[in-house]
A = this chain, B = another copy of it.
Amino acid sequence: MKENITNNNNITKEVNQHFKFELVHIDKKTGARAGEITTPHGIIKTPVFMPVGTHGAVKAQSPRELLEMQIGIILANTYHLHLSPGSDLIAKASGLHKFINWPNAILTDSGGFQVFSLKDKKIDENGVSFAGLKGKKILLTPEESIRVQQNLGADIMMAFDECIPYPATIEYTKKSIARTHRWLSRCIDSWKNPKQALFGIIQGSTHAETRKICVEEVAKFNLPGLAIGGVSVGEGPELMEEIVSITAPLMPKDKPRYVMGVGNPEDLLMIWENGIDMSDCIIPTKFARGGTLFTNRGKIRINHRNYRHDFYPIEPNCKCYCCSNFSRSYIKHLFDSNEILGTILATTHNIAFYHNLAQAARNAILNDKFLEFKREFLSNYRVVKSTDDENDGEN
């Protein structure tokens, strides 16, 4: 592995001309971080929540709506774009930014998460094979994932790893992470474009021992950023917090720290408190389509009859287009009538809610008041445990 690290010294140096992380401030009481990530497509203030644009479109939003909310970075899924329309087509369209008309930063995942979720797949040292559209056999390897991601041209690429299913024995976990680290080395070998930053992924399941091994091994590669993967895979909030609180402090301080696929507002507060800078999740967009909206007092189901005569905005303090212009009564009516505009407005609001939450957290951190901010938010925000808001399909 040493050899690889040496071989790739050039690109890990060169990437620093295009991609920078500045740690602006650490909250004195918690270790929560405020930072700035510079990419070839703009500067991102952290902590940041990244809306998900699976197929190269954040569901029910146009780029200008996201820009109006000052969204600096979105995530796109390599797996979906690889299957359709294919990354060669997107390369021909001069890359994903041009294809989808998105001027700010993009992060692409490696495709691993989706592939490992498939029922019919074959994993070996080389990579993972699975059936794509129309049953066509597809082989995803570290090299292929990076090739596809370089075709897409995202500002941040993710290494190809195995997202270990929960639960996993320590034996399986050790075997898997060793392979994931060999795959990381192969990802780095395939990485040619210094305008695209490659992030390594820390797996290790729910075991402290393997998480520590992973941080150590991944950190050796001196990559521009590191992510915690393999959380929010069914282990529940307590174990998730345990993993993050064990792993995050071991991660390099001078690199952005990303937790993949998280989550609810209360999860975000938890990861930020643990010094995480970035996260993504389908929750705001997916819940919006099902009529679940985020407010400072908790989630609401807009189709509830209580909102029929409620002429207040979804969140009176919110400045988003939805809350500035429409009432709960109208949004309920749109959902009752199956009007797409209901989905559009609800999505706008939920993304704005998450973005505002991250911005408020950042301000609190800059003033060493993250803990007070968290307490105040949670004292207003009523967490209702329910499954009825997980209603609409999104990959």
Q: Which residues of A contact B (CB under 8 A)?
A: 54-57, 59-64, 80, 84-85, 89, 92-93, 99-101, 308-309, 311, 321, 325-327, 329-330, 332-334, 336-337, 339-341, 343-345
Contact = CB atoms under 8 A, between A and B. Distances in A.
Contacts of A93: 311, 327, 329-330
Given A89-B308, A344-B62, A84 B325 contact: no
Given A89-B308, A101-B326, 12 more contacts: A59-B339, A59-B341, A60-B340, A60-B341, A62-B341, A62-B344, A62-B345, A85-B308, A89-B329, A92-B309, A99-B327, A100-B330
Contacts of A62: 321, 341, 344-345
A161 B110 CA distance: 61
How many copies of the chain does the oligomer comprise? Answer: 2
Contacts of A343: 340
Nearest to A340: B60
A313 to B, nearest CB: 11
10 contacts: A56-B333, A59-B341, A64-B321, A85-B333, A89-B308, A93-B327, A93-B329, A99-B329, A340-B343, A340-B344
A164 to B, nearest CB: 29
Contacts of A89: 308-309, 329
B345 A84 contact: no
A34 B64 CA distance: 35
A161 B10 CA distance: 79
A60 B62 CA distance: 12
Lowest 10 CB-CB distances: which A-B pairs, in order?
A55-B337, A60-B340, A57-B341, A101-B325, A85-B333, A57-B339, A55-B339, A99-B330, A101-B326, A93-B311
A76 to B, nearest CB: 12
Given A327-B99, A329-B99, A340 B309 contact: no
A369 to B, nearest CB: 36
Nearest to A329: B93
A321 B61 CA distance: 13
Contact of A85 (B54, B85, B329): B329
Nearest to A330: B99
A341 B85 contact: no
A80 to B, nearest CB: 7
